[in-house]
Amino acid sequence: MSSDLGRAEAMLRAACGDRLRTGVELAPFTTFRVGGPSSLFLEASSEEDLAAVAAAVRATGLPVLVLGRGSNLLISDHGFPGLALRLGPGFRWAVVEGRELRAGAAMALPALAGLALQHGLTGLEWAVAVPASLGGAVRMNAGAHGVEMAEVLRTAEVFDLVAGERATVRAEEAGFRYRGSDLPDPGVVVAATLRLRAGAPERIRARMDEIREWRRQHQPLAEPNCGSVFKNPPNDAAARLIERCGLKGFAIGGARISTKHANFIVTRPGARAEDVAALICAVQDRVAEGTGILLSPEVHLVGAFDRLPR
């Protein structure tokens, strides 16, 4: 362990006690179910914990990996040489006031979609089957079925891990783009307010049922995956390009292109993160050779890999 990491561990141990853990395997915290351990691991119970993390970051340069539901992460088999930070139950709450829904960042998107339905609010149906936390969805501008988070977000509350303080960022100031934003990094989204519209519950429920059924028919929900692996290029679909190049079912080690949806990679027991990364690179190469288009990964690779995607 480096001296800086040791100093960071001592600082966090003094502030958080035995809740700070070492050598925690991160695979169970990702939807790929692969990856190695994190040097340090903390499930934050309050903003006091985040303040302690910020102090360690300022003092030691501690690398921090913020974990939501791990649906867009591929963590190296070697693990993460820093602190994996997850928000605990204290960040799992939601309130509805009029047509606004304010919630803690640890809330799951499907749960928030269900809450919106209960209150006759429309605009969040697309999220009913998205396996993401609110915080991760805000930071990555998650979206599905033609809608994205930027369209319903009013404000995001972000704890800046350099400044050590909380700030409210309006949606128009967040620098949202396709599957990305300019929110403070390193920083943790701790809450968000969504602006929805009044709607008929029966229509909201029907749309949610339609989205669930579409996903059952078109996506490999029963196998570990991270959702869409590649961003869709302008005016095209990554899945169409991958399928056109004959890559459905193509496998490297324990990772395979889904036969149900070509923009999904699924893993089987014994798969390694390196298998997934190698498959991502192979798909990039084959699609670039076959179509002239370089696909850009939507999934984020964390840690050391033999080869990184372009």
> Which residues form the catalytic set?
179, 228, 298
Which tokens in the block code for residue 94?
A: 């939601």
- Strand blocks (E) in 71-186: 73-75, 80-87, 94-97, 100-104, 121-122, 143-144, 147-148, 153-160, 165-170
Are the C-beta atoms of 195 and 116 separated by less than 8 Å? Answer: no
Cα-atom radius of gyration of the chain, to the nearest Å?
A: 20
Cα separation, 112 vs 69, in Å, equals: 15
Of 224, 231, 285, 213, the residue nearest 70 (C-alpha): 224
The answer to whether 220 touches 261, Cβ cutoff 8 Å, is yes
- Short-list 141, 142, 189, CA closest to 169: 189
Give me the phi and psi of 5, to 5 degrees please: -65, -40
Measured distance CA(308)–CA(189) in Å, rounded: 27
Q: How far apart are CA 270 and CA 227, in angstroms?
A: 20
Q: What are the residue ranges of helices labelled H in the chain?
A: 3-16, 47-60, 109-118, 134-139, 201-218, 238-244, 273-291
User: CA 150, CA 181: separation in Å to the nearest integer?
Assistant: 9
